[in-house]
Amino acid sequence: MTERRGHLWWQRGVVYHIYPRSFADASGDGVGDLEGIASRLDYLEWLGVDAIWLSPFYPSPMADFGYDISDHCAVDPLFGTLADFDELVAETHRRGMRLIVDYVPNHTSDEHPWFLESRASRESPRRDWYIWADPKPDGSPPNNWRSVFGGSAWEWDERTGQYYYHAFHRKQPDLNWRNPAVREAMHGVMRFWLERGVDGFRVDALRHLVKDEKLRDNPPNPAYEEGRPSYEAHLPVYTTDRPEVHRMISGMRRVLDGCGGERVMIGELYLPFDRLVLYYGEGGRGVHLPTNMHLITTPWSAPSLAALISEYEAALPPHGWPNWVLSNHDNPRVATRVGPERARAAAVLLLTLRGTPTVYYGDEIGMVDGKIPPERLRDPAGSQNPRLSRDPARTPMQWDASPNAGFCPPDAEPWLPLSPDRRHRNVAAQRESRGSLLCLYRRLLRLRRSEPALSVGSYEPLEAGGSLLAYARSHAGRRLLVALNLGGAPEPLPPVLRGRVLLSTSPGQEGGDLHPLARLGPGEALVVAP
């Protein structure tokens, strides 16, 4: 892969993803807020991240915890005020970091003024701001489209005698992006936040943005297995990844680019690589970073990951910048998926691959999915099947060993239960231990910043064998070697892995030369300068 010059901040940097409800509660109501986030900016600066990405904090009835927005240009009182947001932007920038916010263009809340007007009558000026359709002759929904949250994606409206479409919760009607008035209104939302100083957007549910105009049935999924979410019973060829979506993205890019500065647009996309890379757009005029989620779903083995990385690198267009994600608010945490003992190697992988990495809050201390009693489940996606709930990956951040882990005052009840391991797995305890996972993340982030080969250098796979994954990163004549043992037994290092150890997951090895007969233990990883 050709080296690049003049890299932008989002190509060099590391993004830190915050779920606002769960990061830090300053008001004492058991729910995280903007003031709480601002109070922890010194920590994020110490950690060494370059940008913060916030999940929604907008006014919402909270049917889907903020992704059902009733006002795109305000702050929900639960999280604070616009003044709190402006202060957060200013304080983030003062520390040399950037701020990215969630942009949710696919749908609104059913309590949004636009939808209330649309729903008022078939003659409403905003009727076609949403997707309405007549029932079949027998009164059933217009087609077989399913909601991601389960059941039909069509909700009957008794007043006007039509169904409206919702890709997610029934209280999240989808906007009709084929309507120019909708596009202009949502572009106005972008301008509002750009003028308040945000450095970019993570665009939610991007592949859902345009639906088939003829409302054709989705075909059956021949690979569907019983027990999987009902949404997967059909292939969503008429409800997602439609060709028209790229024209909508181009319009968003024009708004973003028109505001000047090094703004970034990140697209939430769960797609195979051949489809994913199309979202970079012709000549790079699409999404800057179509989100690569494949580390979340790929088996944790050296052959699987080596093949994944090579496939991704080969699929990238010349103008495409890679990106990697290990965890997010919709999927089990990495320490839960691969085991806490392998979380160190996972950190090294994420932060030494070519491209922009995103760290999910709490992964830096090895947080695992929380145990949520049935009566405390909050996620609507898990209402039909609690095993599919996203709540376990959204438990409050563990700051210290106090009763509520420093997330909220001791006399408040956190909105989700805290993990029982908070007494030893927390920021305060790990910050004092050089051998901790937290300090490993900090060392990795400092090494990325000091070694351009790790942030913007080329990628070259190396022959390793067994359970070892190895590759080289090179930039401006500087070559670094990375090796990870993803198996359960020690592995001898290949002859190419020789030199001075810049970073190791095992304390005490850094600064010395590798022994010719060195072996890498299970879950260990290192970075070497030949």
* Tokens matching residue 410: 């001791």
Active site residue 204: yes
Which of 33, 199, 268, 379 is flagged as catalytic?
A: 268
Q: Name 132's bridge partners.
A: 164
- Per the CB < 8 A criterion, the answer to whether 501 and 527 are in contact is yes
Which of 84, 204, 241, 391 is flagged as catalytic?
A: 204
Q: Is the dihedral of CA 450, 453, 455, 460 positive or negative?
A: negative
Q: Residue 125 CB: number of other CB atoms within 10 A?
A: 11
Active site residue 375: no
Within its chain, how far is the Cα of 122 from the centroid? 38
Q: Is the dihedral of CA 326, 332, 337, 343 positive or negative?
A: positive
| Edge-to-edge order in the sheet of strand 458-462 | 458-462, 468-475, 478-485, 525-529, 500-504
What type of residue sits at position 359?
Answer: V
Instruction: Quote the Cα angle for 412-392-356, to 5°.
Output: 110
List CB contacts of 483: < 8 A, sequence separation 6 or more.
Answer: 464, 468, 469, 470, 493, 494, 497, 520, 525, 526, 528
Letter string b/e over residues 303-321, b meaning 16 or more CB atoms within 10 A of that residue's CB: eebbebbeebbebbeeebb
Residues with catalytic roles: 204, 268
